[in-house]
Amino acid sequence: MRIKTKIDKFGRIIIPKKIRNEFGLRSNSEVLIEAAGDGIIVHPGTSIPFVADREGIIVVCSEPTETFSDFIKKDREDRIKKMIREINL
């Protein structure tokens, strides 16, 4: 997505609302600015969890709190415990 904007007299740019919402950027959010060849790249600075609507699908965007294999292992253990409880009822 490319949207044209302007730099104000203080050197600030406005990141359009559609892009801010897509990346969960709010007032006082940190961003990283990087010179890259003949361009400038702006990256979200910190990963604050947020919810985004991606083409009608609600997506929670955040950093993982554990490795994928640990998550699978814990989920598998929880499902086994649940099945054992259901059998014992």
From first to last of the 89 residues of the chain, give the pLDDT tens digit.
788 889 999 999 999 998 888 887 888 888 889 999 999 988 887 666 777 788 888 887 777 778 888 889 999 999 999 999 999 87
3-state secondary structure string across 2-65: CCCCCECCCCCECCCHHHHHHHCCCCCCCEEEEEECCEEEEEECCCCCEEEEECCEEEEECCCC
Output the pLDDT for position 77. Answer: 94
**Number of folded domains that form the chain:** 2
Output the pLDDT for position 84. Answer: 92
Output the pLDDT for position 55. Answer: 86
Q: Does the pTM exceed 0.85?
A: no
Q: Are residues 25 and 64 in the same domain?
A: no
Output the pLDDT for position 58. Answer: 87
Q: Are residues 33 and 54 in the same domain?
A: no
- Enclosing domain of residue 1: 1-47
